[in-house]
Amino acid sequence: MAHPLSQSCNVYSSCFAILCLVLAQSHIASSVLLVGLKNNHHHPHHGRPMLHANQTSCALFMGSWVHDDTYPIYQSSACPTIDPEFNCQMYGRPDSDYLKYRWKPANCELPRFNGLDFLLKLKGKTVMFVGDSLGRNQWESLICLISAAVPHSPIQMSRGDPLSTFKFLEFGVAVSYYRAPYLVDIDAVQGKRVLKLDDIRGNGNAWRGVDVLSFNTGHWWTHKGSLQGWDYMESGGTIYEDIDRLVALERGMRTWARWVDTNIDRSRTSVFFQSISPTHYNPSDWNAGATTAKSCYGETAPSTITTYPGAYPDQMKVVVAVIRDMNNPAYLLDITTLSAMRKDAHPSIYSGDLSPVERANPDHSADCSHWCLPGLPDTWNQLFYTALLY
């Protein structure tokens, strides 16, 4: 294999050109418009699930957060599948108003999540979330939402790496999470982890035959140092110590898109892609006067800003460009902007993984990437449920 330094000039010039083309073609709005709404249900296994209602347009992902005392739909104490890092109430979060917000699109109403309806309409089917820990966040939320509707229904649970599955045995419904932070494969080569930007066959074998697939990726592509999940990248048969991370994301996403277009029968499988979940590590993004705090710690209410705070994620421009170019595009569940308004919904220091010393130093240890359960991922699943079944 060629050494990366010997090809750096040509490669980086090519990468830069590709990135410029992607960004130039990607004038991205922060919402997805669902058009042609009617009063009949869309079959859950057609290729492009859409919302149907009242012959109008519904911009599902544009709107506001409204206080609603009927939320949350479940309690954390009644859902044993929640990981400690998401279980904010169990680990001492003193406030609870963050649980009482409902997403209201600007020009329509979302149906309330109905776990029994979900099970009946997907009877005998499989749902799988594929991606990083934000996908696991959403997977656990969906299990909790459904379980609240059928608390005495028999279940079967298996946790593993990369695959975990929760089955509602009475209905023959399986809800799985497959861990693949980059979607594409990582192989061990001479004791080193090689991120294969052009290969997804290893992971993809686990996704065949699934009825509803929901993918996500994004955060791990920017990690460096001890958080970096690979030692080298491989693309076009050449091994690299590093390349521009947006270029790497674009190459990996195009490998994913080609695999989906080639291997997924869209007449029986619905394919979703969840947009980039925002973080809240920089208070100046939502509070221009913030100068001291360095995390989401202490935030107890949503932002009232309806535009994206701070710089819109560059990863989203890549994601939208790749999905747009697919032969049969995945449905983009665009939760980025509505989630950016929820600076109050992160675990912060209320995670079971933190030591007393870490809890005392929130500027360095608060988790402002993941989300509390119950909490924001329940809304992601309400939107997922709406787009899939209505």
Domain chopping of the chain, boundaries: 4-389
Question: Which of 52, 219, 346, 370 is flagged as catalytic?
Answer: 370
Nearest CA to 319 among 248, 250, 271, 270?
250
Q: End-to-end CA distance of the chain, in Å?
A: 51
Contact 253, 217 (CB under 8 A): yes
Question: Which of 133, 235, 295, 351 is flagged as catalytic?
Answer: 133
Nearest CA to 130 among 200, 81, 197, 48?
200
Residue 321 has pLDDT above 50, yes or no: yes
Give the pLDDT score at 26: 34
What are the beta bridge partners of residue 167? 156, 174
Task: Report the distance separating Cα 90 and Cα 43, nearest Å.
Answer: 39
Give the pLDDT score at 239: 96
Q: Encoding tokens for residue 299?
A: 């935030």
Question: Which of 185, 199, 367, 378 is flagged as catalytic?
Answer: 367
Give the pLDDT score at 294: 73
Each residue of 206-258: pLDDT tens digit?
999 999 999 999 999 999 999 999 999 999 999 999 999 999 999 999 999 99
Q: Is 370 a catalytic residue?
A: yes
**Residues near 39 by beta carbon (within 8 Å), at least 6 away in sequence:** 52, 53, 54
32 pLDDT band (50/70/90 cuts)?
Answer: very low
9 pLDDT band (50/70/90 cuts)?
Answer: very low
354-373: average pLDDT: 94
What are the beta bridge partners of residue 66? 102
**Residues near 41 by beta carbon (within 8 Å), at least 6 away in sequence:** 52, 389, 390
Each residue of 54-65: pLDDT tens digit?
334 789 999 999
**Residues near 30 by beta carbon (within 8 Å), at least 6 away in sequence:** 61, 62, 307, 308, 312, 334, 336, 337
Q: Is 42 a catalytic residue?
A: no
Contact 373, 87 (CB under 8 A): yes
Give the pLDDT score at 114: 98
> Which helix or strand (DSSP H or E) is residue 14 part of?
helix 8-24
pTM score, whole prediction: 0.86
Each residue of 165-202: pLDDT tens digit?
999 999 999 999 999 999 999 999 999 999 999 999 99
Q: Is 8 a catalytic residue?
A: no
75-104: average pLDDT: 96
Exposure class string for 164-174: b at 16+ Cβ within 10 A, else e: bbbbbeebebb
Give the pLDDT score at 288: 66
